[in-house]
Chain A
Amino acid sequence: MSVNERNDGALFEAEGLLKSFPGVRAVDDVSFAIAEGEIHALLGENGAGKSTLVKMIYGVLRPDEGVMRMRGAAFAPSSPGKARAAGVGMVFQHFSLFEALTVAENVALGMNDAPRTRVLNQRIKEVSEAYGLPLDPNRIVGDLSVGERQRIEIVRSLLQNPKLLIMDEPTSVLTPQEVETLFGTLRKLAAEGVSILYISHKLDEIRSLCSRATILRGGKLSGDCDPRQETARSLAEMMIGRSLADPKPADWRPGEKRLSVEDLSVRSADPFGVHLKNIKFDLHAGDILGVGGVAGNGQEELLNVLSGETRTAPGAIRLNDRMIGAVGPDARRAYGLCAAPEERLGHAAAPDMSLTENAVLTARRRAGLARSGFVRYGAAANFARAIVERFGVKTAGVGHAAKSLSGGNLQKFVVGREIIQKPDVFIVSQPTWGVDAGAAEVIRDAIRDLARGGAAVVVISQDLDELMEISTLFSVISEGSLSFPVPTGSVTIEQIGVMMGAGGSGSEVEFHV
């Protein structure tokens, strides 16, 4: 396949890019081209090489072999600054913003040569209005929603007049309405001749937005198509190279009461945190409660108070009719409640510790990995191996550090570590965030199996499609209040989107059941 024949006059071309890391060839002979004004999708499983590829374009990494060209001229950025100067902008999945600074100050920090404050404020207003990204330059970032924070990153990139804008999973944190706004902006940019490289797992989005897709598998180019001509299913199959099983509908038959939360209010110690207000719900065996909502509305606080990291009044949380509000995570696990927080590295797992040691972190009690004060490292290694096997974690061995795993594989490990302990109640945040379609299905199946086996599960997620797919009950968290859970089938995605954006009045929004 020759790149040059197909894309004459392309804005950006890559030919034979290759990048190796010790033990793995992350990007292996990848060639593709992006035309001017094209919205080009980059698809692939975790560890398929998307991040490595994008980092090379943005000057974070340098390719071992191969060449890149911008408008036919050689392009080999040695730093992100050089890439920006050559007209490449990037909006990262995880924002790099200072919460205590204003919008304008944050924008200035990310620019190669920032203009004076007054000029900058004016330009931020111009750009944000021109592209439908309302943004007040003088607001403190800590007060902004995730969608607004993303606008800062986009505006920062646009101020430097990029020819190629790279967007890494931009919609993973947005409400459906915010997604529409973002798409409008991207289409407008494309119409003005800006090329966009769009990385996402959401196949429907790619099909509605992108006119060309490059698909990676195991570091190699595995496909190249017009996504509008494909179905989400055929794209996913190209990405993972095998046929997907249809999701099984949950066999929902509520059993005995597992978890009961009443009058749960927690003041956050963090100045930018969210206070939980009067949370109340009951879960029975077999229930899967999906908690939707825009990031930063109390999800982390809710997980912490349920997992036991934050203590509260004893009676506010009951597990199998036992008051557990005042006891810590270790005791809660012993009683049958396991949790998997959203942040994998540093919270759910210790980055520098091996998978074996990380197994001991939460499973030492239920899996008997410690006896009379001594850690049974042999048993822990076997336990870690069982997780790796059952959940298909790709690793060179359980003796390797957690941080050596790709994000999706670590996610499989930390979620698998809790599920395999067969808890009565399982609390999980963002179970499939950053995980590819195949692995996401494995995790969702395991969650459904757990519920079918008599557990109650709370899934906190920003991915509404996922919540719709696996949960039996649904509620929305907004500014620390949780709406009363309703059966999942009774609300539409559009209604939920309105609730999520409602802000503060989430619990008062009426459902039309």
Chain B
Amino acid sequence: MFEIAPRKEPSRLMVWLTPALAVGLTLLAGMALFAALGKDPVETIRVIFVQPFLDPFSRTELLVKGAPLVLIAIGLAIGFRAGVWNIGAEGQFVIGAIAGGGVALAFYDTSGFWLLPLMTLAGALGGAAWAMIPAFLKIKFNANEILVSLMLVYVAIFWLSALVSGPLRDPDGFNFPESRIFHDSATLPIIIDGSRAHIGVLVALGAVVAAYVLMERHIFGYQVKLFGQAPRAASFGGFSRNMLIAACLGLSGALAGVAGTFEAAGPVGQLVPALPVGYGFTAIIVAFLGRLHPIGILFSGSVMALTYIGGEAAQIAMNLPAAAINVFQGMLLFFLLGMDLLVNYRVGWKQRAA
């Protein structure tokens, strides 16, 4: 019979090495997958991981994809450390985009430096409000936040479709379900000329620093760790579980909402039904791959952005199906969690007691 026994003290080195090993194993398994699809495995890996660095535009695209991933993953990681499982960042991302984009459309043709901050605030509030639904249901009825937040993703996506097909539809858009294209003062400034890399990249970096300080120095970070490790000790310490649930969901919802606003006001430039492309779900992988640590998330977000850009390149150059790239990204989390089990537990054969 298999036996899985906890290790006394998992090696610190291995805890940080596992993400690298998981990436390595994903490469190997990915190559097997691509070979099975009849593609040249080495060439496919090269296209995914090397090609994006060779082209200047692709390099800046890494920032465009990485920023929302990092922004969302930072918020999710704080909740995960506390044992609050917000799986619905994709929905909060969409509601944030609707709220921020709504402000942009309401002030269409108005210019002013205040417009972008106002949109960002609206996006944050929208995302946080959406996340308050699972928070309220968990606090009040002990409803599982994983299910509630996940189901609300689909509600949010339908809201977006309904709004861009109705009230927010572009009056001159030939009935296409799209909003107007945001005007200039409602569009994020570009930080690198000739690219789509917008100011949201800097906001994401700022969020990394802020989250680091919050987690390592602030009493809130202390509470988060305490609730994650020893809920009864936290309650004895005088911290409120309900406040923490609301704060974690609210914070991760707000960051996802900001990411949604930035996506609409940045690379996309309008509200369209195809706005959500899975950042909210991929950010879950990013958070775990980064060990739920802000600095780690900065790296894992970059790696994940690479699989997006490289994956698109592979779809074009190698004629690879999009699903193969999704599987490839999913394998990363699979291997990471598998490796984590081996780091924290010893697996062996247990002889049946006679």
Q: Are A349 and B233 in contact (CB under 8 A)?
A: yes
Q: Are B229 and A352 in contact (CB under 8 A)?
A: yes
Q: Are A81 and B354 in contact (CB under 8 A)?
A: yes
Q: Are B232 and A346 in contact (CB under 8 A)?
A: yes
Of B219, B232, B240, B353, the contact of A364 (CB 8 Å cutoff): B219
Q: A329-B237, A350-B226 are in contact. Are A112 and B219 (CB under 8 A)?
A: no
Number of contacting residues on A, CB 8 A?
A: 36
A350 to B234, CA, bound (A): 8
Q: Are B219 and A373 in contact (CB under 8 A)?
A: yes
Which residues A310-366 have CB closer than 8 A to chain B?
328-333, 339, 341, 343, 346-353, 357, 360-362, 364
A349 to B237, CA, bound (A): 9
Is B159 interfacial (CB 8 A cutoff)?
Answer: no
Residues of B within 8 A of A349 (CB): 230, 233
Is A3 interfacial (CB 8 A cutoff)?
Answer: no
Q: Are B236 and A348 in contact (CB under 8 A)?
A: yes
Of B9, B217, B237, the contact of A361 (CB 8 Å cutoff): B237
Q: Are A353 and B218 in contact (CB under 8 A)?
A: no
Which partner residue on chain A sits nearest B220 by CB separation?
A: A373
Q: Are B353 and A357 in contact (CB under 8 A)?
A: no
Which residues B150-209 have CB closer than 8 A to chain A?
none
12 A-B contacts (beta carbon < 8 Å): A82-B353, A85-B354, A309-B236, A329-B236, A329-B237, A329-B238, A350-B230, A353-B230, A362-B236, A364-B219, A370-B219, A374-B218
Residues of B within 8 A of A341 (CB): 236
Residues of chain A having any CB pair with chain B under 8 Å: 22, 79, 81-82, 85, 112, 307-309, 328-333, 339, 341, 343, 346-353, 357, 360-362, 364, 370, 373-375, 377
Q: How far is the CB of A373 from chain B (nearest CB, A)?
A: 6
A332 to B351, CA, bound (A): 53
A79 to B235, CA, bound (A): 37
A389 to B151, CA, bound (A): 54
Q: How far is the CB of B124 from chain A (nearest CB, A)?
A: 20
Is B291 interfacial (CB 8 A cutoff)?
Answer: no
Q: Are B235 and A361 in contact (CB under 8 A)?
A: no
With most chain A CB atoms within 10 A of its CB, the pick from B220, B236, B351 is: B236
Is B299 interfacial (CB 8 A cutoff)?
Answer: no
**Beyond known contacts A352-B229, A352-B230, A374-B219: 19 more, CB 8 A cutoff:** A79-B353, A82-B353, A85-B353, A85-B354, A112-B353, A112-B354, A329-B235, A339-B236, A346-B232, A348-B236, A350-B229, A357-B225, A360-B222, A361-B226, A362-B237, A364-B219, A373-B218, A374-B217, A375-B217
Which partner residue on chain A sits nearest B225 by CB separation?
A: A353
A357 to B222, CA, bound (A): 8
What are the 9 closest A-B residue pairs judged by CB atoms, nearest first? A330-B238, A81-B353, A329-B238, A350-B230, A361-B237, A350-B233, A347-B232, A352-B229, A350-B229
Q: How far is the CB of A350 from chain B (nearest CB, A)?
A: 4
Residues of A within 8 A of B240 (CB): 328
Which partner residue on chain A sits nearest B239 by CB separation?
A: A330
Residues of A within 8 A of B354 (CB): 81-82, 85, 112
Which partner residue on chain B sits nearest A82 by CB separation?
A: B353
Q: How far is the CB of B125 from chain A (nearest CB, A)?
A: 22
Of B219, B233, B238, the contact of A375 (CB 8 Å cutoff): B219
With most chain A CB atoms within 10 A of its CB, the pick from B9, B222, B233 is: B233
Residues of chain B having any CB pair with chain A under 8 Å: 9, 217-220, 222, 225-226, 229-230, 232-240, 351, 353-354
A377 to B219, CA, bound (A): 10
With most chain A CB atoms within 10 A of its CB, the pick from B9, B238, B240 is: B238
A374 to B217, CA, bound (A): 6
A24 to B322, CA, bound (A): 56
Which partner residue on chain B sits nearest A310 by CB separation?
A: B235
Q: Are B233 and A347 in contact (CB under 8 A)?
A: yes
Residues of B within 8 A of A331 (CB): 238
Residues of B within 8 A of A377 (CB): 217
Q: A82-B353, A347-B236, A361-B237 are in contact. Are A375 and B229 (CB under 8 A)?
A: no
A85 to B353, CA, bound (A): 9
Q: How far is the CB of B214 from chain A (nearest CB, A)?
A: 10
Which partner residue on chain A sits nearest B9 by CB separation?
A: A22
Residues of A within 8 A of B230 (CB): 346-347, 349-353
Q: Are A375 and B218 in contact (CB under 8 A)?
A: yes
Residues of A within 8 A of B9 (CB): 22
Residues of B within 8 A of A348 (CB): 233, 236
Q: Are A361 and B233 in contact (CB under 8 A)?
A: yes
Q: A85-B354, A350-B229, A350-B230 are in contact. Are A361 and B236 (CB under 8 A)?
A: yes
Q: How far is the CB of A342 from chain B (nearest CB, A)?
A: 11
A373 to B218, CA, bound (A): 6
Residues of A within 8 A of B353 (CB): 79, 81-82, 85, 112
Of B220, B222, B225, B238, the contact of A328 (CB 8 Å cutoff): B238
A41 to B167, CA, bound (A): 83
Residues of B within 8 A of A351 (CB): 229-230
Residues of B within 8 A of A357 (CB): 222, 225
With most chain A CB atoms within 10 A of its CB, the pick from B220, B226, B230 is: B230
Residues of B within 8 A of A353 (CB): 225-226, 229-230
Q: How far is the CB of B249 from chain A (nearest CB, A)?
A: 20
Q: How far is the CB of B43 from chain A (nearest CB, A)?
A: 46
Q: Are B237 and A375 in contact (CB under 8 A)?
A: no
Q: How far is the CB of A417 from chain B (nearest CB, A)?
A: 11
Q: How far is the CB of A123 from chain B (nearest CB, A)?
A: 20
Residues of B within 8 A of A373 (CB): 218-220
Which partner residue on chain B sits nearest A85 by CB separation?
A: B354
Q: How far is the CB of B242 from chain A (nearest CB, A)?
A: 12
Residues of A within 8 A of B238 (CB): 308, 328-333, 362
A332 to B353, CA, bound (A): 52
A449 to B255, CA, bound (A): 52
Residues of A within 8 A of B217 (CB): 374-375, 377
Residues of B within 8 A of A370 (CB): 219
